[in-house]
Amino acid sequence: MRRILMLVAVLGTMAVAASGPINAQNQASAMTPVGLVSCVRAFYDPQVYNWLSFQNNCSEPLNITYYWRANDHLGSSGVAQPGRSVNTGFSRSDIDSHGGGWELYPCPLHYFPVAPGGRYIENGGSNPQSYYCKHE
């Protein structure tokens, strides 16, 4: 199982994904264009030290990859079942002091974000990238 684990992102501004909902036809293809950013809600989770978390509000499990936009562009990813969250381990003050916010690249379970050319997205940047989800 190949997982890209890094940390970077933007709280209010999220990545703009290529359009196309998840469906059986898309899941069968090797690379799937998706529009899942609207499935993810960013919030500070009072049950987990008020750390920034990303909640899956869709009906399917998601692999949520996120990156800092500023400085190091590092990020991470995690799987969130419907209604569940992936937390970043960063508080509001951590995020405010780091600056830049987050980029999000949510994909269906067992899929990872890739650039239109097919390369895995390995770090964030100052501009959210268009992406597709590639089956691992």
User: By percentage, how much of the chain surpasses pLDDT 70?
Assistant: 71
Average of per-residue pLDDT values in the chain: 74
Confidence of residue 128 (pLDDT cuts 50, 70, 90): low
Contact call for residues 109 and 63 (beta carbons, < 8 A):
yes
Those residues with Cβ within 8 angstroms of residue 122's Cβ, 6 or more apart along the chain or in another chain: 4, 6
CA dihedral 86, 92, 95, 99 (to 10 degrees): 140
Kind and range of the H or E run holding 107? strand 102-108
pTM above 0.85, yes or no: no
The size of the chain, in residues, is: 136
